[in-house]
């Protein structure tokens, strides 16, 4: 780092504040050569710790610059290594947990945009979000709508980005551990007045695990219309696949269009999703082990709750083949 930049950094740390003009200068410094280097990532983290009340433009720069480092220049492009994941966790969890909304957004953004991230990073993000929801504390504490034990729209959106991010454990398909997370959080908030978006995510996520190809294998236009109509007609599930099916109907480029990574990473992502499509298309059927798993989860407390009922109804309507062990539960919600 040049001497002038070190002087600026020292001054900003001493002030414990960054102005809009400072952010413009920092952008020129960091993005001037088109590469976010390791030492630059280090001092961005370091400076962030000293800022008492960060302005929006600093938070945007913080997420953008460090996302660029982790996605573009830490190991193979687009792939976040275990070492890089540990480096990220270390710097956003000074006291063992994420402290600010911008740090949480950084972690979520990396998972959302990467080709792959280590499972530890995904678990870290989901556990942080669970703590926010259940305690009302943590990086989302400044959100006036955050209520302990209640899932609001903001929390649901973040959880969705982690679970359906292309760098998540199952990539764009939901992994078993992610489906377990959804069930656990659903059980812990079952008596709460959660935002309707939670039911949509719960059903969408668990159905995705059980019927893995549904998340990104585009159905025929007729089948897409039928499924969307089913979801819109049932008030308990209210069209939660609507946005997904709409984007899928426009093809993979539309699905990838909102992701701000470079062309090389985008191309690799597209190829990876196509490869996954070929491998897991057959998983739309509910297998014996999947049936046993969902039965165990639903019968855990002896009650079929509303979100679980919506899940079973969707599976009954959309899976081409269901293991007979699941039939008694399906009859209860028919």
- Residue 128 has which token pair? 């942080």
Do residues 93 and 132 lie in contact, with contact meaning Cβ atoms separated by under 8 Å?
no
**Nearest to 123, CA basis, from 89, 75, 166:** 89
pLDDT at position 134: 94
pLDDT at position 258: 37
Q: Give CA–CA dist 49/62, Å, rounded.
A: 11
pLDDT at position 321: 83
Residue 50 burial by Cβ neighbours in a 10 Å radius (0-12, 13-18, 19+): middle
- Residue 14 has which token pair? 């001493």
pLDDT beneath 70, residues of the chain: 1-6, 73-76, 95, 166-172, 212-284
Q: Give CA–CA dist 241/238, Å, rounded.
A: 9
pLDDT at position 14: 85
Backbone angles phi, psi at 152, to 5 degrees: -95, 175
* SS3 label, residue 322: strand
**Residue 316 to residues 235, 243, 284, 285: CA-CA distances in angstroms?**
17, 21, 12, 11
- Predicted model pTM: 0.76
CA-based torsion, 180, 185, 189, 194: positive or negative? negative
* SS3 label, residue 238: coil
Q: Give CA–CA dist 180/75, Å, rounded.
A: 30
CA atoms within 13 A of residue 119's CA, in its CB half-sphere: 7
Q: Give CA–CA dist 93/185, Å, rounded.
A: 22
Q: Give CA–CA dist 330/244, Å, rounded.
A: 25
pLDDT at position 276: 54
Query: What ranges do the domains of the chain cover?
Result: 74-333
Non-local CB neighbours of 180 within 8 Å, separated by 6+ positions = 297
pLDDT at position 5: 64
Tell me which DSSP letter residue 304 carries: -
- Residue 19 has which token pair? 């102005």
Q: Give CA–CA dist 140/100, Å, rounded.
A: 7
Which tens digits make up the pLDDT trace of 158-182? 999 999 886 566 556 788 999 999 9
Do residues 108 and 158 lie in contact, with contact meaning Cβ atoms separated by under 8 Å?
yes
Backbone angles phi, psi at 114, to 5 degrees: -70, 160
**Residue 334 to residues 233, 285, 327: CA-CA distances in angstroms?**
15, 19, 10
pLDDT at position 143: 80
Which tens digits make up the pLDDT trace of 3-57? 556 677 788 888 888 999 999 999 988 888 878 889 899 999 999 988 888 999 9
CA atoms within 13 A of residue 71's CA, in its CB half-sphere: 28
């Amino acid at each position: 780092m040049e001497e002038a930049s070190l002087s600026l950094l020292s001054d900003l740390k001493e002030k414990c504040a960054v102005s809009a003009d400072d952010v413009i200068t920092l952008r020129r410094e960091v993005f001037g050569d088109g590469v976010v280097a390791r030492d630059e990532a280090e001092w961005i983290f370091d400076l962030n710790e000293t800022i008492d009340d960060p302005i929006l433009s600093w938070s945007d720069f913080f997420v953008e610059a460090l996302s660029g480092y982790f996605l573009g220049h830490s190991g193979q492009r687009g792939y976040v290594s275990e070492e890089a994941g540990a480096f990220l966790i270390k710097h956003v969890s000074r006291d063992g947990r994420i402290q600010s909304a911008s740090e949480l957004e950084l972690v979520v953004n990396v998972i959302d945009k990467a080709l792959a991230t280590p499972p530890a990073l995904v678990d870290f993000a989901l556990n942080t979000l669970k703590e926010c929801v259940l305690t009302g504390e943590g990086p989302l504490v400044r959100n006036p709508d955050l209520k302990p034990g209640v899932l609001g729209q903001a929390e649901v959106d973040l959880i969705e980005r982690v679970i359906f991010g292309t760098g998540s454990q199952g990539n764009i398909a939901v992994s078993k551990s992610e489906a377990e997370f959804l069930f656990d959080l659903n059980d812990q908030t079952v008596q709460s007045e959660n935002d309707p978006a939670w039911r949509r995510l719960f059903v969408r996520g668990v159905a995705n695990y059980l019927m893995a190809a549904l998340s990104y294998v585009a159905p025929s236009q007729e089948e897409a219309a039928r499924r969307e109509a089913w979801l819109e007609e049932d008030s308990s599930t209210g069209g939660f696949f609507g946005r997904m099916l709409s984007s899928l109907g426009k093809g993979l480029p539309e699905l990838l269009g909102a992701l701000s990574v470079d062309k090389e990473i985008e191309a690799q992502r597209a190829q990876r999703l196509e490869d996954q499509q070929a491998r897991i298309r057959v998983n739309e059927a509910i297998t014996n082990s999947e049936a046993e798993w969902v039965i165990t989860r639903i019968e855990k407390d002896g009650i079929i709750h509303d979100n679980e009922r919506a899940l079973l109804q969707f599976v009954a309507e959309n899976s081409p083949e269901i293991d007979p062990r699941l039939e008694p539960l399906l009859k209860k919600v028919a």
